[in-house]
Structure formats: structure tokens, C-alpha cells
Amino acid sequence: MADFDVVVLGSGPGGQKAAIAAAKLGKRVAVIEKRNMIGGVCINTGTIPSKTLREAVLYLTGLNQRELYGASYRVKDEITVTDLGMRTQHVIGREIQVIRAQLARNHVTVLQGTGRFLDPYTIGITGEDQDEKKVTADKIVIATGTSPARPASVEFDDKTVIDSDAILRLDRVPETLVVVGAGVIGIEYASMFAALGTKVTVIERRERMLEFCDLEIVEALKYHLRDLAVTFRFGESVAAVERRPRGALTLLESGKIIPADCVMYSAGRQGKTAELCLEAAGLSADDRGRIKVDENFATEVPHIYAVGDVIGFPALAATSMEQGRLAAQHACGEPSGDLAELPPIGIYTIPEISFVGRSEDELTRDKVPFEVGISRYRELARGQIIGDSYGMLKLLVSSEDRRLLGVHVFGTGATELVHIGQTVMGCGGTVDYLVNAVFNYPTLAESYKVAALDAMNKMRTVARLTADL
Ligand SMILES: Cc1cc2nc3c(=O)[nH]c(=O)nc-3n(C[C@H](O)[C@H](O)[C@H](O)COP(=O)(O)OP(=O)(O)OC[C@H]3O[C@@H](n4cnc5c(N)ncnc54)[C@H](O)[C@@H]3O)c2cc1C
């Protein structure tokens, strides 16, 4: 008999939920995790520290209160990394306790060390004493996540030239920062530092950023970030980064030279598969370290599953958790549903963005007729009360059957608000539901009703003119 029914490699969101789902089905489960990494990238270096840092920045700078109290409003004049780090460390500590308690409560064994395959059913675990212990399992879930990709041509020193892990360990708030790569992580950090007063330059090879988002909302974000002194260099590539005693020079292929205290590379992420010895299990990874899986998250070796960032897109904590749960259920022979078709996307820039469903660009490309309904926070009583004059919610409504095709939100609470739209869409609801619903007043949620009425009025105008002879 194997030592465990299920062994999970990695304790990030994917691994945790896989382990707990299997334990709930009465299986003997172990999670293998490296020292000081319980909770994975999510808790230690990714989602949770970045979102807590954002909260600390918003609170200490008083940025969201300036509309009401004036441009000079601050909670603290000199914000230090200690001020910022305190909140982050507090939340990380608490979250680790929660995860440890959940694993213990469900009788999941935590094995500390780095795991690698010795054969398809055996994992070797090397702990701090460098001794390799072996465990066997009937089913194995790989949830080893990713680490920041580091271009070979760039010399990282974790102080001046850094990645998104090292940005959490800076010893001071830089006065100037270059962010290379305007993906979600790059732009989230760019906006946090801009809010702190750092002069940020974002360099992006492509002509646009966040291409999967609604164009109008990305334009609104760019406007806001420019207002916080962010400079965008789109269509530009970095030729070299030169470290100097008091900062770094970023040399662009166009010949421009950008001086800064610090350069943060946000150039994608690499699957953590190199140390797994996948070949011993009959598996392999692609050049970005990702493992191929089927619709049940099973790899080419049927008793081995892979979930989370290590399988690639969408690489979110939100989806990784669900993949973990579904993989474990499948591995344990428990019937399970499919991953929901409508995952929301949340981007925690300042201001934040969230959406579910399709964008105007996608619908136009696919020749799907739609009407747009817009609500602006400044026209809502709650928007005035909280001092958010820029927020907006946009509904994309099918002109054929009035169903919601997409919901796009920009501004305070966007990542929470989007779930109302997600629920209506998931239940196949039409705009009529939102037109007729009564919302609490004054709330931001009321924006759904305002946007629904806007879309409805536009559709009514089309219907009226069409009926005219
Ligand atoms: C800066 C940043 C911000 C983010 N913000 C968000 C956000 O706002 N919302 C969101 O949904 N997602 C966000 N993400 C993405 C999110 O963090 C990831 O999608 C999520 O953590 C992936 O979970 P995972 O289970 O795949 O593994 P991870 O969280 O990556 O954890 C994998 C774990 O496996 C361990 N491991 C690796 N190899 C081995 C081995 N050989 N043996 C034992 N253990 C091993 C690692 O130590 C690690 O602890 C963010 C990511 C970053 C970097």
C-alpha cells in the first residue's frame, strides 16, 4: 500500500484546495512544501502581499480622500517601507496561520522540503538536513506554480534591478522607478508606486497594454496613471540595463536612456518544474516550464494531475483554487462539474478594473450586435459620498435577446461589484432583471440599474425608429 492516497506538490491555492478536497473525501493526503513557503507564491510573494501593499498605500497616502479633502491630504507625510511592510507582514502571518489550521483540521500531513519524482509513484523530499526521504502515493497533484522570468541578459541584484519578488524587500521607497512590461503585475506595482509619489516610467514592447480589457477602461486607467506622473513608453524595447552606484540606466533600442533609482522587470513567469525531475515520471514541460493537462487536469500520465500557474493561463489564484478542487475530485473518483465558463478578471491597479464576459472589441470582431449601458459613479449618491468621480460601470447587452454579454467596471470596488454581473450572466439573466431590481441606496451596486436603464433606453430608441414607417 502507498504511504498516501494523494500527495500534492506545493501549498499555493491550487495545492491547498486539492489537498483539502481529497481529505474531505476521506483520503490520506500529504502536501510537500518548501521551508517558509506555506501558502505558496499567493501568500508569500504574490497576491496577498501585493494586495495588502496596495491597501496600505491607499490608506497612508489618503489618495482616495483627496477629492473631498483636497490635493494635499495625507494620513502620513513621509511613508517608509516599514510603514508599508508592517501591514503586509501582519496579513501574511495571519493567512499562513489560517492555512496551517485548515490543513491540520483536515488531517493533511505537511512534509517540509523540495520534492522531485523518483518514479511515477514515488516522490523524494529533500529537507534542510539534505537527506532525501521517500513517499509513495496512488495519485499525485503537481501545484508547484511559477517564479518571475529573468531575462539572461539582465543582471538582477535584488536592490537596483529587481523582479516582482524583490520589490517587496526594497529598503526605501524609490524616487524614480522603471517598470519593464505593462502586464497585470507590472502595471499594478507601477500604480502603487505612482500613488506613493514615485516617478514611474513604464516600458512596453507592444503598442497597447492589458489588451484583454475593455479599451475605454484601459484608456481611463492610463489617464489616471499619467495624472500620477507615470510616463508610458509603448512600442519600445529595452536594449540593456546598466547598474550604477546610485541607480540604473535603462537603455532603449530607440536610443533613449532612462535613469532611475530602481528597475523592476515584469517579464512573465516561468513554471517551477526544473527541479521536479519530471522525466522520472514520464512527463515533460514546455520551454516556459508549463505542464500539459486535459479537461480534468490530468497529465499524460493519468494518475498525475497538474493545476494552477504551472499549467499556464489564466494563472490566477482564483482559478488555481478551483482547478485544485476539481483535479482532486476527479483523482478520487468523485463526480465534479466543469470549471465555470465565466471567470471574472480583477486587476488591482489604482483605480481597480474588473470584468466578466466579453469586450466590445471581441463582440464587434465576431459581429455580435450589442448595446452599451453606462453608469458613472459621479452620478450616484454613493460615488459622491466616497469621492469617486471617475468610476464607471459598463454593461454590454445583446440587442437580440437582451442577455448580458459583458460587464466592465472601473473604480472603487470594481473587483467586488463585478460579481453581481457574473451572477446575472451565469444564470442567463437579461437586462430586464437589472432594470426591475431594487438596489440598496446609496450604493455603488446601484450602477447596475443605472447602466441597465441606459442600455434599455437606447434599445427602445432603436425599436421606436424601426417601427416608424
Ligand atoms: C505580484 C503578483 C500578484 C498577483 N495578484 C493576483 C491577484 O490579485 N489575484 C489572483 O487571482 N492572482 C494573483 N496572482 C497570481 C497568483 O498568485 C497565482 O495564480 C497563484 O499563486 C498560483 O497558485 P498555485 O497553486 O499554482 O501555486 P503558487 O502560489 O505559485 O505556489 C506554488 C508552491 O509550490 C512550491 N513548490 C514549487 N516547487 C516545489 C517542489 N519541487 N517541492 C515542493 N514545493 C514546491 C513553491 O514553494 C510554492 O509555495 C498574482 C501573482 C503575483 C506574482
Q: Tens digits of per-residue pLDDT, 114-172?
A: 999 999 999 999 998 889 999 999 999 999 999 999 999 999 999 999 999 999 999 99
Statement: residue 339 has pLDDT above 80? no
What pLDDT is recorded for position 106? 98
- Over range 374-390, report the average pLDDT: 97
Statement: residue 435 has pLDDT above 80? yes
Ligand 1: nearest atom to the Cα of 307: 26
**How is residue 112 written as a grid cell?**
517540509
Rama region for 91: left / alpha / beta (φ>0; ψ in -120 to 50; rest): alpha
Q: Give how far the C-alpha of residue 457 lies from the chain's centroid of Cα atoms, to the nearest Å.
A: 35
pLDDT in tens, 24-63: 999 999 999 999 999 999 999 999 999 999 999 999 999 9
> How far is ligand 1, taken at its centre, from the CA of residue 258, in Å?
32
Statement: residue 469 has pLDDT above 80? no
Under a CB-based contact definition with an 8 Å cutoff, are residues 168 and 49 in contact?
yes
The pLDDT > 70 percentage for the chain reads 100
> How far is ligand 1, taken at its centre, from the CA of residue 311, in Å?
12
Q: Give how far the C-alpha of residue 18 lies from the chain's centroid of Cα atoms, to the nearest Å.
A: 20
Instruction: Choose one of 37, 44, 45, 47 to mutate for the ligand 1 pocket test, by most ligand atoms within 8 angstroms of C-beta.
Output: 47
Count how many Cα atoms sit within 13 Å of the Cα of residue 53 in the half-sphere of its side chain: 31
What pLDDT is recorded for position 431? 97
Name the band, by pLDDT with cuts 50, 70 and 90, for residue 182: very high
Alpha-carbon gap, residue 157 to 406, rounded angstroms: 43
- Over range 353-379, report the average pLDDT: 97
Using DSSP, state whether 291 is helix, strand or coil: coil
Q: What pTM does this model have?
A: 0.96
Alpha-carbon gap, residue 255 to 248, rounded angstroms: 16
Instruction: Choose one of 42, 45, 276 to mutate for the ligand 1 pocket test, by most ligand atoms within 8 angstroms of C-beta.
Output: 42
What pLDDT is recorded for position 336? 83
Q: Which residues line ligand 1 (CB under 6 A)?
A: 9-15, 32-34, 37, 40-42, 46-47, 50-51, 114-115, 143-146, 164, 185, 272, 275-276, 308-310, 315-318, 320, 346, 348
> How far is ligand 1, taken at its centre, from the CA of residue 289, in Å?
14
Around Cβ 152, how many Cβ atoms within 10 Å?
Answer: 5
Written as one string, the DSSP assignment of 255-283 is: S-EEEESEEEE---EEES-GGG-GGGGT-
Cα separations (Å) of 444 from 131, 421, 463?
56, 13, 30
Statement: residue 387 has pLDDT above 80? yes
Name the band, by pLDDT with cuts 50, 70 and 90, for residue 347: very high
What pLDDT is recorded for position 300? 98
Determine which residue's CA is closest to atom 16 belonging to ligand 1.
317
What pLDDT is recorded for position 178? 98
**DSSP code of 11?**
-
> How far is ligand 1, taken at its centre, from the CA of residue 31, in Å?
15
Which of 139-148, 373-382, 458-467 comes out lowest in average pLDDT? 458-467
Alpha-carbon gap, residue 415 to 354, rounded angstroms: 5
C-alpha closest to that of 410 among 374, 437, 382: 374
pLDDT in tens, 81-118: 999 999 999 999 999 999 999 999 999 999 999 999 99
What pLDDT is recorded for position 175? 97
Alpha-carbon gap, residue 381 to 379, rounded angstroms: 7
> How far is ligand 1, taken at its centre, from the CA of residue 308, in Å?
8
Please state, rounded to an integer, the average pLDDT across all residues of the chain: 96
C-alpha closest to that of 272 among 99, 97, 37: 37
Statement: residue 377 has pLDDT above 80? yes
